[in-house]
Amino acid sequence: MPTPANHPVPGLVGPFKLSVCFVCLGNICRSPTAEGVLTKLVADAGLRGRIRVDSVGTGAWHKGERADKRARTEAQRRGYDLQSVARQITSADFTTHDLLIGMDHANLRELEALAAKTTSTAKFSLLRSYDPLAPADSEVPDPYYGGLEEFARMFDMVEAACRGLLARLRSEHGL
Ligand code: 4NP
């Protein structure tokens, strides 16, 4: 981790110990879903004040928009509330967050390219790397041009990976 476990996260106000930000292309489908899922898992585990959860897009096309209607419909069916408003990543994201978690390899390549132009203290990873049952290098495919079925499959992948992510954060940081 870029900051020792009990060290305040730079740039963060409040008692948050860890800051996690999910990254996709548009910030209207996959990363808002991951934000909504992990936010609920964190709350259910009584860790709301300890882990901050955010999401961002590498592109700007959907800036200011709520999560895609199909994602919000599936979220509601599964008991999640997608609250995010789309925004594009900025240099501040590379220092306010401990973990920047991409959905696919293109997201990771973009993060690495942007990080080279900024002072980054964040660690990068792929979301499905936290799912113990997912093959190495698995991605969360973009469901944007698909139907509700693709969105349901996307939720299945995100839920499994977020459960693994929370377990990892708890064990690595004594939460
Ligand atoms: P996301 O999905 O990256 O999961 O938010 C996308 C949404 C919109 C577009 C691409 C991906 N788009 O090209 O507009």
pLDDT, one tens digit per residue, over 99-133 is: 999 999 999 999 999 999 989 999 999 999 999 99
- Cα(67)–Cα(84) distance, rounded to whole angstroms? 7
What one-letter code names the amino acid at 38?
L
What one-letter code names the amino acid at 21?
C
Domain boundaries, the chain: 18-168
Quote the percentage of the chain above a pLDDT of 70: 91
Q: How far apart are the CA of 53 and the centre of ligand 1, in A?
A: 20
Q: Whose CA is nearest to atom 9 of ligand 1?
A: 26
Specify whether the CB–CB gap between 66 and 82 falls below 8 A.
yes
Q: Which atom of ligand 1 is nearest to the CA of 86?
A: 5
Mean pLDDT for 18-35 is 98
Q: Which CATH superfamily is domain 18-168 in?
A: Response regulator (3.40.50.2300)
CB of 60 shorter than 6 A to ligand 1: no
Q: Whose CA is nearest to atom 3 of ligand 1?
A: 25
